[in-house]
Homo-oligomer: A and B are copies of this chain.
Amino acid sequence: MKRERATIHDIAKKLDITASTVSRALKDHPRISEATKKAVLKEAKNLNYQPNHIAAALRIGRSKIIGIIVPTADRSFFSSVVRGIEEIANASQYNVMICQSYDIFEKEVATIEALINARVDGIIASYAKGTESFDHFIKVKDKGIPLILFDRSNEDIGVSNVILDDYRGAYEAVNHLIKQRCKRIAHLTGIKKISIYNERFRGYREALLDNGLSFDESLVIESDMQLEDGIESMKKLLSLPVLPDAVFAASDYSAMGAMQALKERNIRIPEDIALVGFGNEPFTRFSEPQLTTVDQRSKEMGNATAEIFLEQVGGLRKPFVPKKTVLKPELIIRKSSLKKG
């Protein structure tokens, strides 16, 4: 069964021409006659020839592969971004190599190394929660490999990035709660070090102040933003002398945790406490009540990063100017925050 893989040399031998001609014929080179082109194509089919990208990559110096690093593909946000990247990249004959850092710094560094060694033509990444130093990213940039960051990003690296206007998303979410006549709005936030959480916090705070509400530090709970953290954080809020009448969680996961904690105590959502998450994860449509949340435009984010990548490889010779793209989030209003009347 296991016949040897045919090469352009095999085709050449059969037709009594050289590999150069075959190579050119396959690429539809103008200096090759139509007759030989046809013959080559026919023989290629006959021998079941399939080009060896590895050989070409070595010669050309481009692998036509984009490396993608995400904390985890398990999260619909990231897989959706990947989908957006693929859409654009595939159209330009690029394949993607998806890698997961599992939010571990060391794994991220190792992955970068692996991708460089695999000679990917570029890297698109969203860095790990545990990432403190950005030297590994700077190394990529210094090697002249196009690097684009999305969602989680850092200005200091000096590369192009695509992010969401987290501030605005949070602002609108809180604004919406205020319009629902909520007066005492709590906030579940993540590690401040990560800019997205910091931005969402800012949006929360500003919305309060702009609407004449006071900012109360005791209503802000910081955690790791997983489901369990949401439960814990909500319990803390429920032990306050005066309960909040709304909670804006900076992640859907923690929002779901909060929802479970509320249900356990038989607190009505949204009548007693309204709830808003962030991320528009698929499960937010499945909860009871369905969760109001902020859509992160994941597919568009993927599209945008891929387009920036293509621009950069296209203009590798030109002086490089980092480009920042900010996407506008969309508030998805559902029952968890809609008070009647």
Contact = CB atoms under 8 A, between A and B. Distances in A.
A78 B178 CA distance: 40
Contact of A57 (B54, B65, B82): B54
Contact of A95 (B63, B72, B96, B118): B118
B95 A53 contact: no
A143 B82 contact: no
B65 A73 contact: no
Contacts of A52: 58, 117, 119
A19 B113 CA distance: 22
Contacts of A1: 141-142, 144
A95 B79 contact: no
A301 to B, nearest CB: 15
A263 B283 contact: no
B53 A55 contact: no
B117 A2 contact: no
Interface stretch (A97-105, A165-173, A217-225): A97-105
Contacts of A256: 286
A117 B282 contact: no
Contact of A288 (B53, B54, B285, B288): B288
A167 B119 CA distance: 45
A86 interface: yes
Interface in A211-263: 227, 256, 259-260, 263
A: interface residue count bin: 35 or more
B118 A53 contact: yes
A20 interface: no
A131 interface: no
A180 interface: no
Given A2-B143, A142-B1, A50 B100 contact: no
Contacts of A285: 227
24 contacts: A1-B141, A2-B142, A2-B143, A3-B142, A50-B117, A51-B117, A52-B117, A53-B118, A53-B119, A54-B63, A58-B58, A73-B82, A73-B98, A74-B79, A74-B80, A74-B83, A79-B79, A86-B100, A95-B97, A95-B99, A95-B118, A263-B288, A283-B286, A286-B286
Given A1-B144, A282-B283, A286-B287, 7 more contacts: A2-B142, A2-B143, A2-B144, A52-B119, A54-B57, A54-B63, A54-B119
